[in-house]
Amino acid sequence: GKALTVAMIEKLDSLYKFSSSNNVEIVFRWIRIGLAARWEKAVPEAVDLVTKVGRMKFVRPVYRDLYAWPEQRQVALDTFAKNKDKMMSVSVEMVTKDLHITS
């Protein structure tokens, strides 16, 4: 569907505190909603998630979402370059493809 507006996201976050949840499933979905809306506050949260949580279930979609946002594409590339040595080889291979990185 259509992305929420930044105003809607900020209102939801003030009411429900999704950004401060300790549940990675909630945080993951919240970050993706924020990135789709081009909410700047979601970017550092996305970087934090992909650097701390190694599951491809979370990492790949967030990297793809960052890459799809032209103004944040370099953040995705830089974050991946900085952290790929800490990732499992299969994850590195898949995210490399997601970020359109060629050898």
**Tokens (6 digits) for 36:** 């789709």
Q: Give the Cα-Cα-Cα angle 63, 79, 89 (nearest 5 degrees).
A: 70
Q: Are 66 and 36 spatial neighbours (Cβ–Cβ below 8 Å)?
A: no
Which pLDDT score is estimated for 1? 80
Which pLDDT score is estimated for 54? 87
Which residues have C-beta within 8 Å of that of residue 49, sequence separation ≥ 6? 24, 27, 28, 31, 58, 59, 62
Which pLDDT score is estimated for 90? 95
Q: Are 42 and 34 spatial neighbours (Cβ–Cβ below 8 Å)?
A: yes
Which pLDDT score is estimated for 79? 98
Q: Are 36 and 70 spatial neighbours (Cβ–Cβ below 8 Å)?
A: no
The residues of the chain scoring below 50 in pLDDT are: none
**Tokens (6 digits) for 93:** 């291979």
Which pLDDT score is estimated for 5? 96
Which pLDDT score is estimated for 82? 98
